[in-house]
Structure 1
Amino acid sequence: MPIPFDNSFAALGSPFSSVQTPVPVEKPALIKINSTLAEQLNIDPHWLESHEGIEVLAGNRVAEGSEPTSAAYAGHQFGHFNPQLGDGRAILLGEILDKNGHRYDLQLKGSGRTPWSRGGDGRSPIGPVLREYIVSEAMAALGVPSTRALAAVSTGEQVVRDGVAPGAVLARVASSHIRVGTMQYFAAREDRKSLATLVTYVLERHYPDRRGADNAATALLESVIEAQARLIARWQLLGFVHGVMNTDNMLLCGETVDYGPCAFMEEFHPETLFSSIDQQGRYAYCNQPGIAQWNLARLAEALLPLINEDTDAAVEAAKQALQGFTETFESAYQAGLADKLGLSDMNQSDITLADELFTALQEDQADFTLAFRFLADEINPGAQNTGAGALFSPGQKLLEWMPRWMQRQQAQNSDAATRQIRMFAASPAFIPRNHLIQRAIEDGESGDYALFHRLVERLAHSTSYAGDDSDLALPAKPQERVTRTFCGT
């Protein structure tokens, strides 16, 4: 088979998903194939680029071995529970075992109406497809657990949202698409049998080391809490603002999903947000750890009947599990912050030093990304490689802070060159800057994908600075700033 499907979720059948064939598009044309990912998945990238491959990626043909389905799930959206959401514009083609035996979903996003579309057309404008391709691949290259982009295909059709834009389909890869909202869907229906089936399935697929636990539901809750805590720590360290942290956008496998109104922070401010639909700032940068814990509490609520028949005992067990979030998050965040600051570890005085740094960055209105690259250059100024620090002009507050940091460096056992390498690895020189993504989208709407391709290629190696691409490392000029992003639904 051109795509070596090995399906397990579709085998669960109803009520977990419904059989759904993608809706064909008018004139599919290839935008980009992720050849490296295709080869990892044992798919011939040359076949994907063929007429037959493009037909499959567009949803015009069902590949051999594919069992297309759309999944059921619910979710809290901006704090309000919707008992029925589901895959309104996405269809799971099936699963693939990669070269290492790891199982991945292959899903088409923007592939037409499903039973869960709730009046929508099931299509996607080209903008959200290009944005998700760029940002998800950048996140993966940075080592952040994330869904991946296998391919992007234009449809030759127009999609109506606020205006009219060309349509596109994204072929998305994930360890799975099972969400907190999936568990909520069955809990809301008091379908304990299906809930138990899902718990067993997710443990076996994602956390096999916990399969023999005395209580499967508690084991799953603890595993997801740990995975999400580590994920959110990575977001915070990179200045990534997700924008729509609803429970239906929180995968139980611990990967980042849904890159609609997301953006990377430039000018540092804890309350930074971009999402056009987040009117109250619920999902601002500073709120992300707390919201993640809130979402996990909703997962705990869904699992209570399986944790213990005694409600009080179940609640107490869930509370104990949820307390592990803060400890895991702080541990992961501080370890990452130590790398960004060139420190071997973080003691209490270092935490204070870091807090003072963030205060300085905020008062200076400094670029979050380039500030850390500047510090990496300063730690070893005679190095041959540059960390893009020359692009950054330090503000007065940062300059006042730096002597205390330099004094702390003197207590380190490692040499400056070694510390600098760690700092470069922890802080990218290039991020998917919002104004560049917007420009790539506008060009793409006119059929010009040159900037899109350039961004994807550069961001695959974002921690290695290259002066020839300095324009991709610079923050937006005042007239270029994009302060609001949109989900595209």
Structure 2
Amino acid sequence: MSALFLRLKATMSVSADPRPASLPRVDAAQLGMVLDNSYANELTGLHAPWNPSPAPQPSWLALNTELAQALGLNADAIAGADGLAVFSGQALPTGASPVAQAYAGHQFGHFSPQLGDGRALLLGEVVDPQGQRRDIAFKGSGRTPFSRGGDGKAAVGPVLREYLMGEAMQALGIPTTRALAAIATGEQVARERPLPGAVLVRVAASHLRVGTFQFFAAREDQEKLKRLADYAINRHDPDLAGQPDQYLGLLRRVAERQATLIAQWMGVGFIHGVMNTDNMTISGETIDYGPCAFMEAHAPDTVFSSIDRDGRYAYANQPLIARWNLARLAEALLSLVHEDSDQAIALVSDVIDAFPALYQAQWLAVFRRKLGLVSSGNDAEDTALIEDFLALLHTQGMDHTLAFRHLADAVEATDGQAPEMMALAAPPGREPLLAWLQRWQQRLVSSGKSPPQLAVALRAANPLYIPRNHRVEEALQAATERGDLVPFERLLTVLKAPFDVQPGSEAYALPASVEQQAGYQTFCGT
């Protein structure tokens, strides 16, 4: 890892916009929303107190009742007028101290010493019935001191995309931020054309990012950097608190969480699209579903994001970028890891250099499960078996999701084949596929499981439904153009049970047509 580090002595500068006027208060107890403000109280200098801009004519787009209940909130009360007023910025719950968070970040490899919440606000934190602290934050609630010329708003389409993607990832068992609510604001936001506005209410284990650490490290503000690191440890890794190597330990834990997360992304063909350091969380949750999408035909170089012109964040590059981002976190933590810079560099370099093996172990575990392999197999042989299957998917242009799903059908087939699987490959590629299936089934013998047992395990590991890009666009277009939420709600219902066969939902499992896939792009929505 390079020993060079940006030493920026810039101070935090904010726009001159006046703070929005004070807002009426709603009794938080009636909503079951007992708010704490540990971030606002303990990390002064890393945020700006701010109020949301009230939505002029708010209405519900979606309310995540299941998540509200999991957080210990009163879902029925939140669904009422007071909940709508709070989530649309017309009122604040008692106990709330909303702030716009400051952070820096590398965006497509270029460092920006100050970014921050340009259209987001941390309303506060709740402690759920399991004792876990969760942030409740707005996205699209208006300008903040960090807006840098933006309007601070969000449109219906990007808000509902994030809602859908978060719930899909949750159902797939992948760590993620989630949407508690989506609110239509009743106003138009100016993009390439006027679009209906919306606010997302997002829940996260925290909004601490690699870029949060970069913010103070770039300013050489040791006191605030240490306070931030101590806060992160107490919140996410309390067992490290007070240990001699607690800051190095924090780096190791973040590396472990990111290795697990990225391996899970790769398993389902998820492409984040904008893995900047301000979009990598310390908690290991997926955050900021902007130009993300799920790969259909398996291709390592797949890119959907319209702004990723060089493929920096392509599917196959995601583990490499995760390591690169972790190296930036390591740079930010150097002064805390050891007072001697050379020793600090050596210590963090060990963590960064160990990441590929850490990730590889997680990747192998993910794909072993997807192939129904027992973990006691030979690592090299299993890796070759997995890589050969992925290579077949690539050369044949086979659908990533359905190819893995149909492995269960192949197990149950008396001839070791499955018509569904064979149909995914072009005729010239079926012989290599059959040869691979024979190798795979020989490997399965060591599992000691019967074909029906293997089929159950395979279907539990490989989803039938993912957020197919054309289905997502169909739902967002209907909501944006016609105010029709039925396609969104139907897709959301399907995505909440991705592993279960849902009669009547067969079309949601099918890939887009060649015409629909051609040139498909996603956008940040800012």
TM-score tier by shorter-chain length is: over 0.9
State the Cα distance separating 1:479 from its structure 2 match: 2.8
- Are residue 136 (structure 1) and residue 166 (structure 2) matched? yes
1:341-381 CA distance string (max 9 Å, x none): 11112421221111111111111100000001111221124
CA-CA distance at 1:327 after TM superposition: 2.3
| Distance in 2 of aligned mates of 1:408 and 1:321 | 34
Aligned partners of 2:446 and 2:421: how far apart in 1?
27
Aligned pairs for 1:31-70 (under 5 A) are 31-70=61-100
Match for 2:142 among 99, 112, 119? 112
Identity of aligned residues (%): 47
Q: Cα RMSD over matched residues?
A: 1.6
Conserved? CA contact 2:64–2:181, under 8 Å? yes
Give the Cα separation in 2 of the matches to 1:339 and 1:352. Answer: 15
Bigger mean CA offset, 5-14 vs 92-101:
5-14
Are residue 439 (structure 1) and residue 469 (structure 2) matched? no
- The letter for the 1-side match of 2:491 is L
Look up the equivalent residue of 1:83 and give its one-letter code.
P
Q: Would you say the 8 A contact 1:343–1:419 is kept in 2?
A: no
Matched, 1:316 2:318: no
**Do the aligned residues in 2 keep the contact of 1:370 with 1:388 (CA within 8 Å)?**
no
| Alignment counterpart, residue 103 of structure 1, candidates 130, 133, 146 | 133
User: Is the Cα contact below 8 Å between 2:397 and 2:425 reproduced in 1?
Assistant: no
Corresponding residue number in structure 2 for 1:393: 424
Task: Report if aligned partners of 1:74, 1:83 keep a CA contact under 8 Å in 2.
Answer: yes
AA in 1 matched with 2:410: E
Q: Please tell me whether the aligned partners of residues 410 and 421 of structure 2 are also in contact (alpha carbons under 8 angstroms).
A: no
Which residue matches 2:513? 477
Q: Distance in 1 between matches of 2:329 and 2:183?
A: 35
Give the secondary-structure state (helix, strand or coil) at the position aligned to 2:438. helix
Deviation (angstroms), 1:4 = 1.5
Q: Match for residue 402 of structure 1? A: 437
Q: Report if aligned partners of 1:267, 1:367 keep a CA contact under 8 Å in 2.
A: yes
- CA displacement 1:93-121 (0-9 Å, x = unmatched): 00001111100000010000000000000
Deviates more, 1:123-132 or 1:388-397: 388-397
| Equivalence map 1:407-422=2 (5 Å) | 407-422=442-457
Cα distance, 1:392 vs. partner?
5.5
Deviates more, 1:397-406 or 1:36-45: 397-406
Maintained 8 Å contact 2:105/2:211:
yes
Partner of 1:455: 491
Question: Match for residue 286 of structure 2?
Answer: 256
Separation (CA, whole Å) in 2 of partners of 1:157 and 1:390: 48
Contact map agreement 1:371 1:394 (CA 8 A) in 2: no
Cα distance in 2 for partners of 1:390, 1:163 equals: 43
Q: What's the offset of the Cα at 1:401? A: 2.2
1:67 CA displacement: 1.0
The TM-score, its normalising length taken from structure 1, stands at 0.97
1:149 to 2:179 alignment? yes
1:66 Cα shift? 1.1
Please state how far the C-alpha of 1:88 moved relative to its aligned partner: 0.4
Task: Write the letter of the residue equivalent to 1:393.
Answer: L
Alpha-carbon separation, structure 2, partners of 1:157 and 1:71: 25
Distance 1:51 1:365 in 2: 51
For 1:95 and 1:349, how far apart are their aligned partners in 2? 47
Work out the number of aligned pairs and report it: 485
What are the Cα deviations for residues 141-194 of structure 1, in whole angstroms up to 9, with x where unaligned? 111110011000101111111221111000000000010000000000000111
Are the aligned partners of 1:243 and 1:283 in contact in 2 as well (CA < 8 Å)? yes
Mapping 1:138-217, distance limit 5 Å: 138-217=168-247
Which structure 1 segments of 5+ residues have no match? none
Q: Give CA deviations for 1:251-280 in whole Å, capped at 9, x if unaligned.
A: 101100000000000000000010000010
Q: 1:427 aligns with which of 462, 481, 491?
A: 462
- Conservation of the 8 A alpha-carbon contact between 1:370 and 1:392: no
Which is further off, 85-94 or 349-358? 349-358
Cα distance between partner residues in 1 of 2:501 and 2:421 = 11
Q: CA 1:205 to 1:392, structure 2 compared with 1: closer, same or farther past 3 Å?
A: farther
The alignment partner of 1:411 has SS state of helix
Q: What is the distance in 2 between the residues matched to 1:215 and 1:390?
A: 51
CA contact (8 A) 2:403 2:421 kept: no
Equivalent-residue separation in structure 1 for 2:202 and 2:282 (angstroms): 17
